[in-house]
Chain A
Amino acid sequence: MTGRTPGGDAAGAPGDDPVPDRIHARPVPRPGRWVSAVVLLVLAAMAVNALLTNEKFRWDVVWLYFRDVTVVRGVGWTLVLTFGSMLIAIVLAVLLAIMRRSDNPVMKAVSWGYIWFFRGTPIYTQLVFWGLISVLYPRLSLGIPFGPEFFEFRTADLFTAFVCALIGLSLNEAAYLAEIVRAGLGSVDPGQTEAAKALGMKDGKILTRIVLPQAMRVIVPPTGNETISMLKTTSLVLAVPFTLDLQYSTNAIGNRLFLPIPLLMVAAIWYLLITSVLMVGQHYVERYYGRGFGTQTSGGRRGRGPGGRGRRPGKQDLIAASGTTKDDPFLEVTP
């Protein structure tokens, strides 16, 4: 196309411009913008300067321990805890959300009670509690309440520090995610369920094929936040105590060397790095679940532009832009 750029430099001769006497107006002067931008840049430069030139940060130590085996292993454990507990929490949360929506009053009450308890107590307390579980119940057995028991084992054998940390984090997280999932399920137009029912689909299929995929659009962004938040919550597992994660291992090295600040910087940089990678991942997951929701207008009238995947521009864009359906193939198909 010609004449796309406002300056009109794409058009060859001035006579090519389809708009006679095209407007080239000067923008409204906004000195405030310039002043505020300059002030912010100066402040940012000061902050960078303060970080880099202060000897006490000991950037040489930071760089050395950034690649330390214990630290990298700590990163590994932190990642395992983050993703492991998020996975368990998501499964639990979907169950809780479905229970909350069910007609069965017992299910509703149990789900409500669970969320009430795990949201109502601090995660630190819960982690300490899980660490003490083998003191509270030295032996666990599986059987019918007040009836016969099938088998028995020592609690400490199963509930290692890692398992306690994983359980503590995921049970707590499930309570928050359950509310997110519930909001997501509630955001799907009831007409979707009706249409699926009218086709003869059963409730389970309607949930997994129709409602959940659409709810994901609402569920994914806050779940991404929760994952990032979980990454940092794992630093509390010393309450169990679980001592292999990133925060604990950098802290231990820092105390041993009497250099707490550089090791804190090591941990901070690793957390930032992981968070950045997670944000990129979240972007792609959001894009996947946003497919088909390009720009839907209410009432399902004509949508414009390509869908979330954005892989079909071209013709459809032109049709949408033209605002007609004159190219309707139907007119040629029926007699």
Chain B
Amino acid sequence: MSGTHDAPAPAAGTPMVQVEGLHKMFGDLHVLKGVDLEVPRGSVCVVLGPSGSGKSTLLRCVNELEEITGGRIRVDGELMGYREVTKDGRTRLHRLHPKVVARQRSRIGMVFQRFNLFPHMTALDNVAEAPVQVRGLSRSEARARAAELLDRVGLADRADHYPAQLSGGQQQRVAIARALAMDPELMLFDEPTSALDPELVGEVLAVMRDLARSGMTMMVVTHEIGFAREVADTVVFMDEGVIVEQGTPEQVLGDPQHERTRSFLAHVL
């Protein structure tokens, strides 16, 4: 791999996400076959690709929900999941303690296709739970902050509802507020609107658009080409575990260089 053992201090120029030569295998199934990707601070990266191309796996690797098979992932300059130890001129990887992994994850927000709200808690407590359990905030502080975040996603009056009492779009907005409650420096979205009825997609995309405008670094897997065109700084097209092409939305969506990208876009547009 590259020769950067001593983790560089996160300089202002360091990209928020650096993925180098990422491989992921599930048993014999080679899902990611050498992915290289950089997401600059404050930018929005939209990942497109056909089903099974490894988009979800890529996001899950960044958040350490999957153990990677090869390569390196850095977030804010910090190597994820491992520690590099150089001894006698050889570099070895040591796995990080689960506590440290949990801390690394707490700086990355993740929004799932199926929301995964905690059904036994109200919307407010869904948002307040992690700050209490992870950050050690008092319940009342966390609730006050949660109320602000619910307000920000337009759900101030739904604070006392349980997830089952909310529409899909409202649930997904609570899920976004829940992720924001940990003050993440990076947000990952895995098809956040795919489980929604068409008339509810807009409200979730609007929240995401606001978030992007506020300067949040985001990686978004989506099939919403309109959103990609409008909000993305870079668009990445993946197929069969590799990045086929990447560039600005104008380049990738407007003038795709590869046949596979073109036929995919022909299908979704």
Contact = CB atoms under 8 A, between A and B. Distances in A.
B234 interface: no
B165 A312 contact: yes
A48 interface: no
B31 interface: no
Given A199-B179, A210-B118, A325-B200, A316 B105 contact: no
Nearest to B170: A325
Contact of A291 (B98, B162, B173, B178): B162
Interface stretch (A71-79, A136-144, A302-310): A302-310
A84 B121 CA distance: 31
Interface stretch (A31-39, A88-96, A187-195): A187-195
A292 B109 CA distance: 24
Interface string A185-217: 000010110111111111101000110011000
A203 B98 contact: yes
B221 interface: no
Interface in B179-226: 179, 182, 195, 197, 199-200, 203, 206-207, 210
Contacts of A333: 154
Interface stretch (A5-13, A106-114, A293-301): A293-301
A329 B156 contact: yes
Interface stretch (B84-92, B129-137, B247-255): B129-137
A192 B197 CA distance: 22
A330 interface: yes
A334 B175 CA distance: 18
Interface string B95-137: 0001100111111111010111111111000000110011000
B164 to A, nearest CB: 3
Nearest to A291: B120
B3 to A, nearest CB: 31
Nearest to B131: A199
Contacts of A197: 65, 102, 105
A108 B40 CA distance: 45
B117 A300 contact: yes
A293 B105 CA distance: 28
A294 B103 contact: no
Nearest to A216: B120
B160 A294 contact: no
Interface size class on chain B is 35 or more
A80 B155 CA distance: 49
A328 B110 contact: no
Contacts, number: 144
A147 B167 CA distance: 64
A300 B173 contact: no
B155 A199 contact: no
A295 B164 CA distance: 7
A300 B1 CA distance: 43
Contacts of B206: 330, 334
Contacts of A201: 102, 130, 133-134
Contact of A307 (B102, B105, B165): B165
A195 B112 contact: yes
26 contacts: A191-B114, A191-B116, A194-B65, A195-B112, A195-B118, A195-B175, A197-B65, A198-B108, A200-B105, A201-B133, A202-B98, A205-B133, A289-B120, A292-B121, A299-B114, A300-B115, A300-B171, A301-B195, A302-B168, A303-B165, A305-B165, A312-B165, A325-B200, A328-B170, A328-B203, A334-B154
